[in-house]
Amino acid sequence: MRRRTDSSTRLLPDGTPLRNRLLAALPATDYERLATHLRVHSTVTGKALHERGRRIHDVYFPNDGVFSITNRMRDGTLVEVATVGREGMLGIGVFLGDRTGTGPTFQQVADGLVAALPVAAFVRETAASSALREQMALYAQAILLQTMQCTACNARHDVTQRCCRWLLQTHDRVDADDFPLRHEFLAMMLGVHRPTVTVVLHALHQAGLISSRYGRISVLRRRRLEAASCECYAVIRRHYVRLGFSTEPRLRNRL
C-alpha cells in the first residue's frame, strides 16, 4: 500500500513533522510562541476528548487521523454532526466563548498524533489580534458551513449517497486508500442500524467502488465513488478550499 508524505519542515514539540494546517499556516514567530504550550500525544479510537456538559480544558489540533463531533440523543444514540482532520481543530466552541462541551468528540480513524493546547493559552492567543485568531475565524466559518450542508444532506439524501460522502471525506483526511472502519461505527456516524450499513457497503463492494473486509475499507474507484455520492461532498470541499482549509491529499486513487 502506497503512503503519502508531507514536505513540511516545521516540527511539533516532540520532533514529529507538523501536518495540522491551522498551525502550519501561522507565521514562524506565532507558532514558536504557541508551541511552548503544546503537548503531543496519541489518542484511542472511540475515547472521548470532549463530553457534553463538561468543562473543556484543552483544545486539540489533529496531526493525522479523523475525528467526529457528535450529538447524543435522548435514547443514547450518537449522531455525527461534523468531521475533523488535520485541516482543523477540536473545541471550536471555546473560540466562540463557550468552554463547555456540546457532545462527545472522539477519534474515528486512527492515524497519528494530536497536539493539545490548554484553553487558557488558546484564549489568550486568540483574544488579541493575531494570526491564530484570523485562522480560527475562518475555520469557524468552514465548520459551520460543513455542519449546515450535512444537516441538509441528512434530510434529503439516501443512506448510500451519505455513506459515499462520508467515505470520501474520510479518504481525503488519511494518507492511504485503505483505512480501518467497523460497520457498527459507520452506522453510528450515519444514524442508521448496522445491518443497513452492511447492505450499503456490500453493494458498493459488488460495484467495485470499494473493498470492505475485516474491519477495513479500501477505496478502489475514487471518481466512481464521487459520482455515487450526493452533491454535498463537492459543496463542502469547495467551502474548505475557498477558505484555505483544503482536505485533499497530494496523491490519491482517482480511478
Q: Which residues contact 49 (CB under 8 A, 6 or more apart)?
A: 43, 58, 60, 67, 90, 105, 106, 107, 114
* pTM for the full predicted model: 0.91
Secondary structure (3-state) at 132: helix
Residue extent(s) of CATH 2.60.120.10 domains in the chain: 21-129
Chain length of the chain: 255
Residue 178: predicted pLDDT: 93
Mean pLDDT of 159-163: 96
251 falls in which pLDDT band (50, 70, 90)? very low
State residue 6's pLDDT score: 44
Range(s) for CATH 1.10.10.10 in the chain? 153-242
In sequence order, what DSSP letters do the residues of 151-173 get, joined into one string? HHHHHHS-HHHHHHHHHHHHHHH
| Percent of the chain surpassing pLDDT 90 | 73
Specify the range with the lowest mean pLDDT, choosing from 7-16, 189-198, 210-219.
7-16
Q: How confident is the model at residue 254 (pLDDT cuts 50, 70, 90)?
A: low
Q: Is the pLDDT of residue 71 over 60?
A: yes
pLDDT digits (tens, 9 = 90+) for 2-50: 334 444 589 999 999 999 999 999 999 999 999 999 999 999 888 999 9
CATH architecture of 21-129: Sandwich (2.60)
What does the pLDDT read at residue 80?
86
pLDDT for position 255: 64
Q: Flag the least confident range among 119-123, 177-181, 250-254.
A: 250-254
**Burial of residue 109 (number of CB atoms within 10 Å: 0-12, 13-18, 19+):** buried
Least confident among 127-131, 172-176, 199-203, 248-252 = 248-252
Q: pLDDT band at 143, cuts 50/70/90?
A: very high
Strands (E), 119-223: 178-180, 210-213, 216-219
Name residues whose C-beta falls within 8 Å of residue 24's C-beta, 6 or more positions apart in sequence.
Answer: 8, 10, 18, 31
Span 97-102, average pLDDT: 94
- pLDDT value of position 248: 60
- Quote the mean pLDDT of the chain: 90
pLDDT on residue 190: 87
Pick the CATH number of 153-242 from 1.10.10.10, 1.10.287.610, 1.10.150.530, 3.30.830.10: 1.10.10.10
Helix (H) or strand (E) holding 84: strand 78-84
What one-letter code names the amino acid at 58? D
